[in-house]
Structure 1
């Protein structure tokens, strides 16, 4: 063991976020990275497109070699744990740090397209996903609560080689011991304007279908009782990945539905709730960069992003 690591363990309490993160990273990185190969089937794409209200791919079964739109890989390579292995909140625990840091939130990440059409992901391909734990770090919230920030990197390869890199950051906070009182709804304020705007209200049906197609059992997305009586949310929470895909879809509608960006970097900053109106704003592209943000009707920013064009 290195001197620096001995010092770390000797100066930090065993249950501190930094100690837990260090031990978790060291242990997990010694294991071979999980790999799985999956067929990109047309049925999943059609149903995912219907969930997203995208008529161009939902009205009939997409044919073989149909390009998978940007971000739609999230409908594939879904978690496969049995229910008894899931966390108390219903989340997949494959890359969870040890207790007490078990309450997961999707914090953000980056998608980078290494290959564009015609060499990208297409229906009918067998694609291999390799997942690596790249970081685990103990931090504190603004309120002083400890948390562990975990970074994973997923690489997707088809017959042409590496096609897509999906980097994700998750926040793990301590498990809730005492139920939190539900937050009250703030006063509404006018939406900001922008160069391109699109408004959303996510229904329980959309959130249920998105959870089902991504095999995501996280209770904050479908159980109002869990949200209000345990975690203190005022309603069910909109998925971070759903907002990410809606940003990409809006960008494609402006630039061209067959186009792929070179890269998108995004960060979730505040929860967005089912049944509440929120607005996606895209600025005018400058030097191949488009700034994106999602704001709710109460003045809070729910997600920010930066899209880099490939052309």
Structure 2
């Protein structure tokens, strides 16, 4: 099989401009899923993930439920995607109800050799504007491979209790299928690993439904935001290290310095974030 570089030669999608006027309803729905208060005027950090959504026609989806084609989806055969992390730098939040524009561009694409084969690292950069002013910039990192990873196992051992921590900020969390289903609907995410357990085990070789990476990032960011209510979040740099599965108890930890993490017992770090306060 040709290397991934062969398929990515000349792949340089043009920037994509989109508009939205963030309404309050998606944010109220997200607040219900996260069990927190809904915003009245301004979107909290990363809550724009329930806005600027794209809903492909049903026939445009692949066997995994993910779009078969997309503006920033690399032309790799038997493509498998993992959301690896990202960065947000904000000067001001988006206001609910006001027209906003997002301009997304391809920031980088690099092929690397990993333990389980070649991987393509794709980074997109999105600029969000409102009233003609740049409000924040977000970069997202995705890892793509051709074919399934040989390192997965549906029989992977699972945590059964919370880890211990001396972090000053702590919040336990356990994802369940209903919460995952609601978050998928809110974010237009139809990937079957989040709601179809037979598919997840038999095709993707995961031991259970996968908790969305963005849920883990929101849990860390929200913990920081609520524990430091007098400080404005101006940046988030997050990394998703290992998948969390429905039913796995996790502990979200953090500190006033903005060092956030999602942990499982006995002491596995599943995700990290560095939150910056202004």
- Aligned-residue CA RMSD (Å): 2.1
> 1:160: Cα distance to partner?
4.5
Does structure 1 residue 105 correspond to structure 2 residue 105?
A: no
Alpha-carbon offset, residue 133 of structure 1 = 0.9
Instruction: Name the counterpart of 1:230.
Output: 203
| Distance in 1, Cα, partners of 2:62 & 2:12 | 18
Which of 64, 87, 94 aligns to 2:62? It is 87
Question: Residues 132-281 of structure 1: matches in 2 within 5 Å?
Answer: 132-141=105-114, 143-176=115-148, 182-186=154-158, 191-193=163-165, 194-256=167-229, 259-281=231-253
The structure-2 alpha-carbon separation of the partners of 1:304 and 1:187, relative to structure 1 and needing over 3 Å to count, comes to closer
Q: CA deviation at 1:190?
A: 6.1
Match of 1:42 in 2: 24
Question: In 2 relative to 1, CA 87–250 (structure 1 residues): closer, same or farther, beyond 3 Å?
Answer: same
State the structure with more CA Rg: 1
Deviates more, 1:275-284 or 1:81-90: 81-90
In structure 2, which of residues 40, 60, 73 is the aligned counterpart of residue 96 of structure 1? 73
- 1:297 and 2:265 equivalent? yes
Structure 1 unpaired stretches of 5+? 1-12
Deviates most, 132-141 or 207-216 = 132-141
* TM-score of the pair, normalised by structure 1: 0.82
Find 2:4's aligned residue among 5, 17, 21. 17
Cα distance between partner residues in 1 of 2:242 and 2:22: 32
1:307 aligns with 2:275: yes
* TM-score normalised according to structure 2 size: 0.91
**Matching of residue 72 in structure 1 with residue 40 in structure 2:** no
Partner of 2:11: helix, strand, or coil?
Answer: helix
Unaligned ranges ≥5, structure 2: none
> 1:101 offset after TM fit, Å?
5.7
Q: Partner of 2:120: helix, strand, or coil?
A: strand
1:190/1:208 Cα in 2 relative to 1: closer, same or farther (>3 Å)? Answer: closer
- Distance in 2 separating the partners of 1:296 and 1:230: 25
Distance 2:265 2:48 in 1: 30
